[in-house]
Every structure is written in structure tokens, then in C-alpha cells.
Amino acid sequence: MTEDEVRAMILSFPEVEDGTSYGYPSYKVAGKFFTRLRAEDASLVLTEVGFDEREMLMQAEPQTFHLTPHYQGYPCVLARIATLDAGTLHAMLTRVWRKKAPKKLVKAWEHDHRL
């Protein structure tokens, strides 16, 4: 994927907007951190990924999924944009968005998408 494709997918979720997190450009939904692009390694921060799932992803696709020491203790994984599968990204972003967006917004979105 390209950064433009990733950005378009991120912004396709309702009420997601540009923001900052710890001084870095990020994306937020309802004022809550959603994700951010890491310019330093052309990766995306994907949250709501349990430690076991993260290990499985990094073992299955080490060219895509990785971690830096900073994120070691957090339930997240980093994904290299260039090798990231669009379907995988959409599924992971959907999971995060559903958890962080207001419940009323999620319910309306699920109704529209028949989830």
C-alpha cells in the first residue's frame, strides 16, 4: 500500500480526523487516538492487538509486522505500509474504530454496513 491509500482508508471511517499524539501527527476518533503513521520507519501504529496476536503476526509476516522497544509493553503492533495487505489493514482499523468511536456512531455504522 501507499501512504495515500492508507490515509484514505483511515479517513473513510466516520468522524476520524487529523490530530496529534505526543507531538506527532495522528488520527483520532471522538478525540481518542486511532492510529498514526510513523515517518521514521514508514509504518503504521495499530492498537488493540493483544500480545499473543502481536507475536503471531510478527512471526507469520516479519516483513510487515514489527515492534520497537517503545511499544513493547503496549497492546499494539507496527505495520510497514509498503507490505501491508489492504484487507488486513481494514479489518484491524475496523476493530480499533469500533472500540474507540462513540457507541451511537458504531451502532449506526453497523446498521449501514449490516455487521
The per-residue pLDDT for range 88-99, each reduced to its tens digit, is 999 999 999 999
Residue-wise pLDDT for 59-87, tens only, equals 999 999 999 999 999 999 999 999 999 99
Percent of the chain with pLDDT over 90: 79
Domain with residue 102: its CATH number is 3.90.1150.30
Instruction: Note the pLDDT of residue 90.
Output: 95
Instruction: Note the pLDDT of residue 32.
Output: 92
Count how many domains the chain has. Answer: 1
d(CA 19, CA 67): 23
CA dihedral 85, 110, 18, 62 (to 10 degrees): -20
Domain interval for residue 76: 3-113
pTM of the shown model: 0.90
Mutual angle of helices 3-11 and 86-100, in 10-degree steps = 30
User: Smallest Cα–Cα separation from 73: which of 42, 47, 100, 95?
Assistant: 47
